[in-house]
Homo-oligomer: A and B are copies of this chain.
């Protein structure tokens, strides 16, 4: 096994500092573990961008709500180690909850307007938890570059904003969503799906494609497109919609009309699995289509 596993915060920070001083570039992929192909792709991207690739594995309790799936969140360190090794990872940072949030902990990083829509109202405190733990990880690991998946689009936007606003000297790279052959976005939470729910869950990616088709056919009204998406999802069994939102890709503010690009983002319960997916909808006028 060539992947070094570090549990202690001070050891990781010391290694990060030493690595920086040696002139090597550090790439960080923050994860909650239970790696799927999406995680491994982030690691491979980091591998191409940095000399030393660090993957943090921490199921962060502060980003889970009271009624969410913290306890059930899947964990398998042995399997993750093998996956990280295959992806060329140098170091797996696996801190304990006690060391990350010792008694007396009371600091939070809050990003404001970007967290008001989409998952924000449905997961109060979630993005404070995300921003805060990522700030901690950046200070501990000291990466030059960090890679996040675009499936968690709002998370990526929030982290990018935090980095910019707080002048963190870290380059943030977003990586395209990895999908199963039938289109389902890869997620550790897909594990919660029964075979029937797994089939029903296809409605998420299908509805994203449906929206692009509507726009390609000339539709520009956000309400009309959103209704079509909602109807498609509601037709599938086991589904319950949290939100379907068409918004500006940078500000995440809702749009009424599709001009140029818009983000279509959705969160849907399929059974007990809360799944999210998104797609940039291209509203630019096109010539002849292939």
Q: Is residue A44 within 8 Å, beta carbon to beta carbon, of the partner chain?
A: no
A162 and B9 alpha carbons, distance in the complex (Å): 16
CA distance A161 to B108 in the complex (A): 11
Chain B residue numbers with a CB within 8 Å of A167 are 9, 13, 136, 139-140
Contact residues in B for A280 (Cβ distance below 8 Å): none
Taking a contact as CB atoms under 8 Å apart, the answer to whether B139 and A169 are in contact is: yes
Is A114 interfacial (CB 8 A cutoff)?
A: yes
Interface size class of A (residues with CB under 8 A): 20 to 34
A140 — nearest CB in chain B belongs to which residue? B167
User: C-beta contact mask, A102-139 vs B, less than 8 Å → 1, else 0?
Assistant: 00111111111110000000000000000110011001
26 inter-chain pairs at a CB distance below 8 angstroms, sorted by A residue, are A13-B169, A17-B169, A20-B20, A20-B21, A21-B23, A104-B161, A106-B113, A106-B114, A106-B161, A106-B165, A107-B110, A107-B111, A107-B131, A107-B161, A107-B162, A107-B165, A107-B166, A109-B109, A132-B166, A136-B167, A139-B166, A139-B167, A139-B168, A139-B169, A140-B167, A142-B169
- Which residues of A approach B to under 8 Å, CB–CB? 9, 13, 17, 20-21, 23, 104-114, 131-132, 135-136, 139-140, 142, 161-162, 165-169
The 7 closest A-B pairs by CB, nearest first: A107-B165, A106-B112, A139-B167, A136-B167, A140-B167, A107-B111, A108-B110
A136 — which chain B residues lie within 8 A by C-beta?
165-167
Q: Which residues of B contact A107 (CB under 8 A)?
A: 109-112, 131, 161-162, 165-166
20 additional A-B residue pairs with CB within 8 Å, beyond A106-B112, A139-B166: A13-B169, A20-B20, A20-B21, A106-B114, A107-B109, A107-B110, A107-B161, A107-B162, A107-B165, A108-B112, A109-B109, A109-B166, A132-B166, A135-B166, A136-B166, A136-B167, A139-B168, A139-B169, A140-B167, A142-B169
A21: chain B residues within 8 A (beta carbon) = 20-21, 23
Contacts of A20 in B (CB 8 A): 20-21
